[in-house]
Amino acid sequence: MKKLILSTAALALTAGMALAGSHATTVRMGTEGAYPPYNFINDNGEVDGFERELGDELCKRAELTCEWVTNEWDSIIPNLVSGNYDTIIAGMSITDEREEVIDFTQNYIPPASSAYVGLSADADITGVIAAQTATIQAGYVAETGATLLEFATPDETVAAVRNGEADAVFADKDFLAPIAAESGGELVMLDADVQLGGGVGLGLRESDTELKAKFDTAITSMKADGTLNTMILKWFGADAATY
């Protein structure tokens, strides 16, 4: 009887440890799911895009089990710090303001251009400019003195130009390029690129230093063997900036 109790106790203990072990390795990846080709929800209803492929590869290299979650852009930082998911992987540029609240890994996309898209090549970039709320582009437009028109989703910023509400939209060039190219001449990329931010990195809680180190190592290894460059070229086209 004593032996039975002992072995059940031992079993319970190991089971408990195994359970604790599995907790530690499930990382919830938070993304927006509305910013193709960075991240979007594909027609099967799953998260897809450059960041999905990258994130899965990073998790494989860091030996983590990852689960994908989508969250509104507006509340993506508050939900990270309150622990609803563990990383932000949503095309988020590394900026000083964000560094005060969360931590970033090293960048996985080099500092890239932001661009304007309007209905014609002579659209007024000092007029009404649409940008997504709480992005570096929105901050920049506010500084240039143009009238800023903010929207919750990237798609709405483009729609605002199409229906004449805004003169132009200001966003990451990699996001706007396919939209302008496939609009059949309706939308035109303006020749006024701006360099903003310190590249795109993974956002993490400041207290999560261990996880940050793991992702940093994985990104370094992907930069070293060239797989990151291949991935960038695959999703953003041959003109994209690489490492």
Partner 1 sequence: MFNSCADPASLEGLSWLLCYLTTGKHMLFYGSFLVVIALMLITAPTALLFGFGGAMAARSHLLPLRWLGKAYTSMVRGIPDIAFFLFVPFALDQGFEYLRHKVKCPDWDTPVRQGNDFVVCAQAKLPLSSSPQWMHEAYGFSLAVLAFAVVFGAFAANVIYGAMQAVPRSQMETAEAYGMSRRQAFWRILVPQMWVFALPGLSNLWMILIKATPLLFLLGVEDIVYWARELGGSKTSAYAYPHPDWRLWYFIGLLAFYLSLTKLSELVLTRLTRRLSHGQATMAGEAQRRTA
Residue 38, both tokens: 């960075």
172 touches partner 1 by CB under 8 A: no
**Binding characters for partner 1, 110-149, by CB under 8 A (x = yes):** ----------------------------------------
Minimum CB separation from partner 1 for residue 158, in Å?
7
Q: Which is nearer to partner 1, 42 or 144 (CB)?
A: 42
* Interface residue with partner 1, options 153, 217, 220, 227 (CB under 8 A): 153
Distance CA 126, CA 99 (A): 29
Q: From the list 6, 9, 15, 24, which residue makes contact with partner 1 (rule: CB under 8 A)? A: 24
The residue count for binding partner 1 (CB under 8 A) is: 48
Contact 87, 204 (CB under 8 A): yes
Q: Please say which residue, 206 or 225, places its beta carbon nearer to partner 1.
A: 206
Listed residue (191, 200, 10) closest to 112, CA to CA: 200
Residues 40-99 that bind partner 1 (CB under 8 A): 40-46, 49, 65, 67, 69-72, 75, 78-79, 81-84, 86
- Our finding on whether 159 is near partner 1 (CB under 8 A) is yes
Does position 106 interact with partner 1 (CB under 8 A)? The reply is no
CB nearer to partner 1: give 49 or 118: 49
Where are the strands (E) in the chain, listed by range? 26-31, 34-35, 39-41, 47-48, 65-70, 87-88, 103-104, 113-118, 128-132, 147-151, 168-172, 188-189, 194-195, 203-204
Strand order of the β-sheet with 34-35 is 34-35, 39-41, 47-48
Nearer to partner 1, 112 or 146 (CB): 112
Burial class from Cβ neighbours inside 10 Å (0-12, 13-18, 19+) for residue 104 reads buried
Q: Between residues 39 and 146, which has the closer beta carbon with respect to partner 1?
A: 39
CB of 30 to partner 1, least distance (A): 11
Distance CA(234)–CA(181), nearest Å, equals 17
Q: For residue 184, which amino acid is it?
A: G
**Tokens 């990699």 identify what position?**
174
Q: Nearest Cα to 68, choosing from 55, 77, 81?
A: 55
Residue ranges that bind partner 1, judged by CB under 8 A: 20, 22-24, 26-28, 33-34, 36-37, 40-46, 49, 65, 67, 69-72, 75, 78-79, 81-84, 86, 101-102, 153, 155-156, 158-159, 162, 178-179, 182, 205-208
